[in-house]
Structure 1
């Protein structure tokens, strides 16, 4: 498996973790083929896709005969394969441990990803809007932002694990961006100044606009 081999990434532009993987490929110039998955049309429920991703979610990766699911695992693999000698996955073991710690929290039941999905789904996909549920999920998301503010960014570093960008930041930013875009009338980071400053740095990165373009065009996401 060489570094010149084209990686296939199976992505829905409306999936936050899938956008994180796509963003890495763009920033690191990973030779890749974008494979769009239309969730609303059931592309992820086919037997063909299940052979690539047993869990039938996005994102997924295929590199030759090797397949991988779960955004944290995919970003770890890509950063080690295509980002060797860079800061994406730090060589310093303590900093690398911070990156791994963030990924584990982010993807866990109480992490930023679950909190973001909890807010997005009743806001966008529910057949009947439940304002009370949305209010509860908004509280959950802000609790997750509290963790980002008070723990992961409490070391006063520019980015989540250290002073430089890592894959942890790429995983986190699309979650904040998604809420910012679907609820831009009321969503604010004013109570989380460290998160706000970090997010502004993330928004200034190359390809931020391009990976979020389709979501920006459709505030009501229909896949």
Structure 2
């Protein structure tokens, strides 16, 4: 049966796993779950993930539905370079430190801004409330500034001088608000250089995974969100 990845590249965690598997040359079957078609709500997929979200992994009948848990599992089960998730207890703890922090910071605030500014208005067919956008943007900016001034201070990557799974997780979340017209790189040279390093270390897979993000971001200005058909999916499509 081997390894199966259920994913949609519109999902940040899906992009993380896609990039990691490709970069580490771990063979897997690609099972695309198209969110805009509601395929994650189909009974067949509910058997894979009862929460009806992406991504999900199946390995010889063993199923996992949380992206961070999946990353750690892949690092244990397959032969990958040590820098991704170090064997050293202290170095591994540094990676875990960011992975735990990001749930209520990078992921929460970048994803919420994207939802409030772009996805919810597109679904409802009417503009977002400016006060809601401003509030969410403020939280996101504070988080991005923490990446710039704390996590990336005097470091090439989030946890040291070598790329780890934490960097792919962080980068994919930071890329998401670009689809809502926000440039996280502006005024943040450390963050900008870090994103470039992550892309350089993982290309061509990084660019492949972000093809829809780049397309929507490039077309966003001057186009009403509800006219962008790539994201015609339900709010319940939130990823894990």
Task: Tell me the TM-score normalised to structure 2 length.
Answer: 0.82
Q: Which stretches of structure 1, 4 residues or more, deviate above 6 A after TM superposition?
A: none
Post-superposition offset of 1:93: 1.1
Show the counterpart of 1:212. Answer: 210
| CA deviation profile, 1:158-204 (whole Å, cap 9, x unmatched) | 11111111100011111112223441xx5243443322221121232
Q: Is the 8 A contact 2:40 2:46 kept in 1?
A: yes
1:148 aligned residue: 147
1:122 touches 1:129 (CA, 8 Å); kept in 2? no
Q: In the alignment, which residue of structure 1 is the partner of 2:70?
A: 74
1:180-195 to structure 2, matched below 5 A, reads: 180-183=178-181, 187-195=183-191
- Distance in 2 (CA, whole Å) between partners of 1:169 and 1:88 is 9
Q: Cα RMSD between the aligned structures?
A: 1.9
Which residue of 2 is the match for residue 161 of structure 1? 159
Cα gap change, 1:99 to 1:83, in 2 (>3 Å): farther
Return 36-45 or 96-105, whichever deviates more. 36-45
Q: Show CA shifts across 1:106-157 (max 9, x none).
A: 12xx321111111111222222222332222111111111332333223x22
Which residue among 108, 112, 123 is the counterpart of 2:117?
A: 123
Separation in 2 of the partners of 1:211 and 1:148? 22
CA–CA distance in 2 between the matches of 1:209 and 1:136?
31
Bigger relative contact order (CA 8 A; separation at least 6)? 2
Contact 1:21-1:71 within 8 A present in 2 as well: yes
Matched, 1:55 2:54: no
- TM-score, with length taken from structure 1: 0.88
Distance 1:79 1:105, change over 3 A: same
Distance 2:106 2:43 in 1: 30
Aligned pair partner of 2:171 in 160, 170, 173: 173
Aligned residue for 2:106? 112
- Unaligned runs of 5+ residues in structure 1 are none
- Give the equivalent residue in structure 2 for 1:22: 18
Alignment partners' CA distance in 2, 1:153 and 1:218: 28
- Write out aligned runs for 1:37-52 (5 A): 37-52=33-48
Q: Gapped runs of 5+ residues in structure 2? A: 218-227, 233-240
Secondary structure of the residue that 2:210 maps to in structure 1? helix
Matches of 2:97 and 2:111, distance apart in 1: 20
Name the structure 2 match of 1:138: 137
Determine helix, strand or coil for the equivalent of 1:218: helix
